Amino acid sequence: MLTENDISILRELAKKYAGYAALPVQKERMRLWRRLNSGPMERPMVLVDQLPWNELDVDGSLRCRIADPYWRQLEERLRQTIYKWEYMPADMVLNPYIALYVPAARTGWGIETKEERIEARLTESVASHRYINQFESLEDVEKIKMPTITRDVEAEKLVREQADVIFDGIIPWKFCGALLEDCGFRLGPWDWITQWMGVTDIYVLMMDEPDLIHAIMRRMTDGILGLQRQCDEQGLFDAVTNAVHCSHTFCEELPRPGCDTDHAGSQDAWGFGLAQLMTSVSPAAFDEFEVRYMMETFEHMGAVYYGCCDRLDDRMDYVARMPNVRKVSCSPWSDREHFAEVMPDRFVMSNKPTPAVLALDSFDLEQARQDVRRTLAAARRHNKRVEMIMKDVSTLRCDPSRIWAWAKMAVEEAERSV
């Protein structure tokens, strides 16, 4: 239950958020994102995300105070959003309402990760993992349980009552579906499988026991399809936050006309898929162990963001076969010139500049600028829509000004590139 002090904290954060969300620049950036995502692009867009927040709290504004887990999650999100707006806004958009997750009870996949960890010495935000393989035979596939999700009607009623009090007279609020992943509805299972088996064992078994890997992918795909059906039946998809996988999703086509955003379906929403360990397998293996399964799950979504840190320029023809893909990740491992050349025009090139430039002993802003220019030039040469997302930042060497400067520089370069 919320205390009076908790309500006061949330109201003060909401007031600050509402002030920024009401600025005229928000509507202009929404328009620019729609032009990027639906075409034709007016200019490249820039965002920053997935940051080492433990290194960024320069003024104490990021410290959470609320104990209730539901509202503490919102407190943290508001604090981080306000911080980003004040110090490194780039092209971020603040919606003119507070987005709240629908309370829902979830079961998982029935497997606990077994691992050995080595913590980083410079930062608390990253660690090295060695995962223990828990799948040695086809019988082990039964360890994977089919996940379920249930809309918690009683908890939802309480949240509605509390939200009406908290945000009264300050800003509207909306439900944005269930919290499934921080980045949206995940369609790709490989990050989970990696934590249950370890990357090396997966590669070996792809060669030695392909039937086992296919059985795991069949089971996981059935589980994701089941979650899609459950979320569709209960209206638990997100058509409100206008974000997926660290990118803004404002577009002309979604949500569909007449969508009840309190009960949005999969065809109103974006999902995201990724298969990062597939970077080190052949395009043919990528097709066999990834594409054939994603064909089943992607078709139910309104749109899909595909990829993360995986290299995709050497297998773009396979990516292009998957339905409803709208954005494709151009990671630091991709050849960006080749990526821009082979990417179909219907996609947005979602470039991920290497975060390594922010983690060196000294930060060279001009070196980072030249890197951004090379990407923008490649996209321009091939007439492709492009966004720049600095993400997966493990450390700033405790110097937040590095990411502030990068965000400002990247927007400057995006604006001058047209």
Of 106, 104, 103, nearest to 162 by C-alpha is 103
User: pLDDT at position 121, please?
Assistant: 65
Residues facing residue 139 across a β-bridge: none
Contact 334, 313 (CB under 8 A): yes
For the chain, list the domains and their CATH numbers: 4-416 (3.20.20.210)
The DSSP-derived string for 15-50 is: HHHHHHHTSHHHHHHHHHHHHHHHS--SS-EEEE-S
Report, in this order, helix, strand and coil percent for the chain, each rounded to 5: 45, 15, 40
Can you give the pLDDT at residue 118? 85
The predicted pLDDT at position 410 comes to: 98
pLDDT given at position 415: 98
pTM of the prediction? 0.96
The tens place of each residue's pLDDT in the chain, 418 residues long, gives: 899 999 999 999 999 999 999 999 999 999 999 999 999 999 999 999 999 999 999 999 999 999 999 999 999 999 999 999 999 999 999 999 999 999 999 999 999 999 998 876 655 567 888 999 999 999 999 999 999 999 999 999 999 999 999 999 999 999 999 988 778 999 999 999 999 999 999 999 999 999 999 999 999 999 999 999 999 999 999 999 999 999 999 999 999 999 999 999 999 999 999 999 999 999 999 999 999 999 999 999 999 999 999 999 999 999 999 999 999 999 999 999 999 999 999 999 999 999 999 999 999 999 999 999 999 999 999 999 999 999 999 999 999 999 999 999 999 999 999 9
Which residue in 377, 375, 91, 108 sits closest to 246, CA to CA? 91
Residues in the chain: 418
**Is the preceding omega at residue 255 within 30 degrees of 0, hence cis?**
yes
Cis peptide before 24 (omega within 30 of 0): no
**In terms of DSSP bridges, do strands 247-248 and 243-244 run parallel, antiparallel, or are they unpaired?**
antiparallel
- Cα–Cα distance between 119 and 101 in angstroms, integer? 32
pLDDT at 125: 62
Residue 31 dihedral angles phi and psi, to the nearest 5°: -60, -45
The torsion angle over the Cα atoms of residues 314, 319, 325 and 331, rounded to 10 degrees, is -30
Here the tokens at position 344 are 């179909």
Q: What confidence score (pLDDT) does residue 123 get?
A: 57
How many whole angstroms separate alpha carbon 19 and alpha carbon 183? 25
pLDDT of residue 374: 98
Tell me, what's the pLDDT at 382?
98
